[in-house]
């Protein structure tokens, strides 16, 4: 478009209008070219009326990631517009300026610009602009992991959106609130707000925002360990993204998909998704946090592939980007990766230091689920003593329990259960795996119902019928299955599959196997677990989570006792005992169509529900003795203090036998350095943290938990405050302050 108008105002208006139309069409390159082509004419015009054009040019430069040019142009626009007084145009210029500064990592300057914009919009009674500025402030605080101020800004913005009756903005803000709740670990509220986000965005037919909402909800499910829900939700996001042009959200989608895949064991699919994400991110936004985030997840993937040099390469590149961007969350996660790589390379001191640094940084972010991941990584590392490892794991367990993350809680409880102190007289950082089932090979019980069932197991073993075990999480279904194996086929294989932990495609190949060439990527034969378990016992845990598409195939195998692996033409004959377990109500699932009725009838012929521990408290004393003897807290003939038994019997045990075992593990950590006779007091401190929440204020509960963690860390380090601070991921000065506040004393390595 050639400018021939002689009137300066006509020229300015024409240029302003044309640039605005280009930016509205997201043709930023054309907007910049048009601006630069007409720059000499623009300079000749001069005057305050050039402000709007300069602001648009700054916006176009910023959209092309040319931040130096964007900043220079935005500052020029500000200097031209400001003398005219507070105006909506000046506020809009501050919005543009704040966005540029934010992308350049100048967070304090960006905050000032957004606050100036919000103040001017408010004084000019411009609700639309005020809402925009508050949203940008919320995003800025979010980037700095200042979630309290971010939520505050969003709540103010929501009130404005309601006054405007702007459903589109309301949907957007509900989504952002959901994301914040996810980061602080309140996943129930996160899901609630994201579902509202989806509903409102769908109503106003906003495909882009609907896709963003599904992406965020999928991310929530990934962090909860609900991988099937996550995959279904990300599929919804992908469908909406296919109808909009958004490279940024496409990168996020591929990144989340890659994380989902590697967390659920689908490593090659993860690699493909993440490599595609990296290509797209480097092409569309090179050098940005989006690129660094993909690299972080590629590093996580290559650790799982045991490609440690590649993991170090990606982590190093990502660290440079994320430190420049000031993203503490990603920096903390990258320090965890550095720790794992250092351990794999035999660099013990560097590994320990990196773990402590990771936990310290992640504590500062307030993103508790990422900190829990780092705590578990440290808790499963051989760089630390068993006592230190358990201390890390207990902290992760506390978070998962308080957040109601049942899948993650079960995972960390199983890790804790698998760790034993080295036998007496041996030292070292590496722990031994727990030998055998956690509550004794014979399933210790005094419960008449369980004793009668145990007596029937040899008879049940003569039948080909499956055995269905039901009951709450942690009651001992796994152990009952092993006990059954020890009675009926003790010298044959015992193979366990957790149906909830594997995605549908992977679960099918794990169970039934395949022959080379059966599908793309099937480079070798894979023996299915039905074959591995032949002549033994196959234990399918969480059978209620098996996909409907596999239920028909499983039913066919049970009825014919034979199957054909994928890619083969030969039948495999089976001679197995099948044990299945669930904590779900299969009858209810049948009624709502989530579980096949014919399969349920086939599985439920021999069913036993293991009672919850709170309903068989007669078992607690002997289980307590077994675990205490195994943890060297009690000699074979020593009596258990009556008060200790009372504390364990009076507790409600929502986590059942597994939780009881973990409580003894916690005592094991705390009591190793404590004089004889102090176990009762230590146990009392453990159970005091489990008081009903309505009996204590929030502050009381926080202080009780904080005191307990400091005491445990001091016990684990024989009273060494510096080492305790390293374990807790806080500064030594903080430990000293808390000790004084909570009246914690250390005498002879014993904290009390």
What residues does 470 pair with on adjacent strands?
A: 582, 609
For the stretch 380-415, pLDDT in tens is 999 998 888 988 998 898 888 888 888 898 889 889
Residues 152 and 115: beta-carbon distance below 8 Å:
no
Does a structural domain hold residue 115? no
Does a structural domain hold residue 239? no
Does a structural domain hold residue 291? no
For position 269, what pLDDT does the model report? 93
Q: Are residues 606 and 643 in the same domain?
A: no
Alpha helix ranges (H) inside 1-87 = 8-24, 28-37, 39-45, 51-63, 67-81
For position 419, what pLDDT does the model report? 83
Within a 10 A sphere around the Cβ of 715, how many other Cβ atoms? 24
For position 148, what pLDDT does the model report? 84
Q: Are residues 648 and 707 in the same domain?
A: yes
**What's the domain range around 731?**
615-751
d(CA 698, CA 700): 5
Does a structural domain hold residue 738? yes
Two tokens, residue 336: 């965890």
Q: Are residues 606 and 620 in the same domain?
A: no
Centroid of chain to Cα 428: 31
For position 55, what pLDDT does the model report? 93
d(CA 727, CA 750): 17
Strand, helix or coil for residue 616: coil
Do the bridges between strand 750-751 and strand 746-747 make them parallel or antiparallel, or are there none, so unpaired? antiparallel
Q: Are residues 542 and 559 in the same domain?
A: yes
d(CA 679, CA 618): 21
Q: Are residues 458 and 576 in the same domain?
A: yes
Place of tokens 């309140």: 186
Tally of domains in the chain: 3
d(CA 112, CA 597): 63
Rounded to two decimals, the pTM is: 0.71
Residues 620 and 613: beta-carbon distance below 8 Å:
yes
Q: Are residues 458 and 579 in the same domain?
A: yes
Tell me how long the chain is.
Answer: 752
H-helix or E-strand containing 450? helix 448-460
Does a structural domain hold residue 177? no
Within a 10 A sphere around the Cβ of 645, how many other Cβ atoms? 17
Does a structural domain hold residue 480? yes
Q: Are residues 384 and 459 in the same domain?
A: no
Q: Are residues 378 and 465 in the same domain?
A: no
Q: Are residues 556 and 634 in the same domain?
A: no
Q: Are residues 397 and 491 in the same domain?
A: no
Does a structural domain hold residue 461? yes
pLDDT along the chain (752 residues), means of 10: 56 86 92 89 75 92 93 93 90 95 91 95 92 91 84 89 88 91 89 95 94 96 92 95 92 97 92 97 92 97 96 97 90 97 96 94 87 94 89 89 86 86 47 43 87 94 93 94 94 91 80 78 80 93 91 91 83 91 94 93 94 94 91 82 89 92 84 55 64 45 65 76 78 78 61 48
d(CA 731, CA 249): 38
Q: Are residues 719 and 628 in the same domain?
A: yes
d(CA 664, CA 434): 14
Could you say which DSSP state residue 566 is in?
B
What CATH number has the domain bearing residue 535? 3.40.50.300
d(CA 584, CA 545): 9
- Choose one of 433, 458, 479: the last residue of a domain: 433
For position 747, what pLDDT does the model report? 54
Two tokens, residue 643: 């008060």
- Choose one of 409, 433, 457: the last residue of a domain: 433
DSSP 534-574: TTSEEEEESGGGS-HHHHHHHHHHHHHSEE--BT--S-EE-
For position 367, what pLDDT does the model report? 85
For the stretch 128-173, pLDDT in tens is 999 999 989 998 998 887 888 998 899 888 888 888 888 988 998 8
- Choose one of 579, 610, 641: the last residue of a domain: 610
Cα distances (angstroms) measured from residue 502 to each of 225, 258, 299, 522, 656: 11, 15, 22, 18, 25
Residues 77 and 55: beta-carbon distance below 8 Å:
yes
Q: Are residues 643 and 547 in the same domain?
A: no
For position 426, what pLDDT does the model report? 45
For the stretch 552-592, pLDDT in tens is 999 999 999 988 888 777 888 989 999 999 999 999 999 99
Q: Which residues, 6+ apart, have CB-to-CB distance to 429 below 8 Å?
A: 382, 383, 384, 385, 386
Within a 10 A sphere around the Cβ of 29, how many other Cβ atoms? 12
Q: Is the dihedral of CA 400, 405, 410, 411 positive or negative?
A: negative
d(CA 120, CA 87): 7
For position 1, what pLDDT does the model report? 45
Does a structural domain hold residue 193? no
Report which of 382, 385, 380 is spatially closest to residue 396, judged by C-alpha positions: 380
Place of tokens 């794990």: 510
Q: Which residues, 6+ apart, have CB-to-CB distance to 243 below 8 Å?
A: 207
């Amino acid at each position: 478009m050639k400018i021939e108008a002689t009137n300066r105002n006509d020229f300015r208006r024409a240029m302003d209008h044309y640039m605005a139309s280009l930016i509205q069409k997201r043709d930023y390159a054309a907007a910049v070219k048009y601006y630069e082509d007409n720059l000499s004419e623009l300079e000749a015009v001069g005057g305050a009326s050039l402000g709007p054009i300069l602001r648009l040019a700054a916006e176009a430069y910023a959209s092309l990631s040319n931040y130096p040019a964007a900043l220079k142009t935005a500052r020029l626009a500000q200097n031209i517009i400001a003398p005219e007084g507070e105006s909506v145009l000046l506020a809009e210029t501050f919005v543009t300026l704040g966005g540029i500064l934010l992308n350049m990592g100048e967070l304090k300057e960006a905050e000032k610009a957004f606050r100036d914009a919000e103040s001017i919009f408010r004084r000019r009674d411009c609700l639309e602009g005020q809402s925009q500025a508050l949203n940008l402030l919320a995003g800025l605080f979010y980037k700095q992991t200042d979630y309290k101020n971010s939520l505050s800004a969003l709540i103010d913005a929501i009130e404005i959106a309601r006054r405007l009756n702007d459903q589109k903005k309301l949907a957007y803000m509900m989504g952002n609130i959901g994301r914040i709740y996810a980061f602080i670990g309140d996943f129930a509220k996160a899901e609630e707000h994201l579902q509202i986000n989806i509903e409102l965005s769908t109503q106003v037919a906003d495909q882009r925002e609907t896709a963003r909402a599904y992406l965020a909800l999928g991310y929530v499910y990934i962090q909860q360990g609900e991988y099937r829900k996550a995959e279904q939700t990300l599929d919804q996001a992908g469908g909406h993204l296919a109808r909009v042009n958004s490279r940024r959200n496409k990168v996020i989608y591929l990144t989340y998909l890659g994380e989902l895949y590697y967390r659920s064991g689908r490593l090659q699919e993860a690699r493909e998704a993440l490599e595609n994400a990296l290509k797209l991110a480097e092409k569309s936004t090179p050098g940005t946090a989006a690129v660094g985030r993909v690299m972080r997840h590629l590093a996580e993937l290559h650790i799982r592939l045991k490609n440690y040099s590649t993991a170090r390469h990606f982590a190093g590149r990502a660290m440079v980007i994320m430190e420049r961007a000031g993203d503490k969350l990603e920096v903390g996660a990258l320090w965890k990766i550095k720790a794992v790589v250092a351990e794999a390379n035999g660099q013990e001191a560097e590994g320990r230091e990196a773990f402590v640094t990771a936990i310290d940084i992640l504590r500062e972010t307030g993103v508790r689920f990422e900190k829990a991941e780092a705590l578990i990584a440290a808790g499963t590392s051989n760089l630390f003593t068993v006592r230190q490892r358990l201390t890390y794991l207990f902290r992760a367990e506390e978070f998962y329990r308080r957040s109601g993350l049942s899948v993650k809680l079960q995972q960390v409880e199983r890790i804790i259960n698998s760790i034993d102190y080295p036998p007496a007289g041996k030292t070292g950082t590496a722990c031994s795996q727990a030998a055998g089932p956690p509550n004794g090979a014979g399933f210790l019980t005094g419960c008449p119902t369980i004793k009668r069932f145990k007596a029937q197991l040899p008879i049940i073993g003569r039948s080909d019928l499956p055995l269905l075990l039901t009951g709450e999480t942690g009651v001992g279904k796994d152990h009952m299955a092993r006990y059954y194996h020890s009675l009926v086929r003790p010298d044959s294989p015992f193979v366990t599959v957790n149906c909830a932990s594997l995605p549908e495609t992977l679960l099918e190949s794990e169970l039934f196997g395949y022959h080379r060439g059966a599908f793309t990527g099937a480079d070798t034969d894979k023996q299915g677990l039905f074959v591995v378990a032949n002549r033994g016992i196959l234990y399918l845990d969480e059978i209620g989570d098996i996909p409907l598409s596999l239920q028909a195939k499983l039913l066919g195998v049970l009825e014919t006792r034979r199957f054909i692996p994928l890619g083969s033409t030969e039948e495999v004959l089976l001679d197995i005992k099948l044990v299945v377990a669930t904590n779900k109500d299969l009858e209810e699932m049948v009624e709502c169509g989530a579980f096949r009725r014919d399969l349920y009838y086939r599985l439920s012929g021999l069913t036993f529900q293991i009672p919850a521990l709170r309903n068989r408290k007669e078992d607690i004393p002997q289980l307590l003795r077994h675990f205490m003897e195994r943890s060297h807290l009690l000699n074979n003939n020593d009596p258990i203090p009556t008060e200790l038994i009372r504390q364990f019997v009076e507790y409600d045990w929502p986590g059942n036998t597994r939780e009881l075992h973990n409580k003894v593990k916690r005592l094991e950590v705390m009591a190793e350095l404590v004089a004889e006779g102090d176990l009762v007091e230590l146990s009392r401190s453990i159970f005091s943290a489990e008081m009903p929440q309505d009996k204590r204020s929030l502050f009381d509960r926080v202080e009780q938990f904080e005191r307990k963690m400091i005491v445990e860390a001091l016990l684990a380090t024989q009273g060494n405050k510096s080492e305790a601070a390293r374990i807790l991921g806080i500064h030594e000065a903080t430990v000293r302050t808390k000790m004084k506040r909570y009246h914690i004393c250390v005498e002879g390595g014993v904290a009390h």
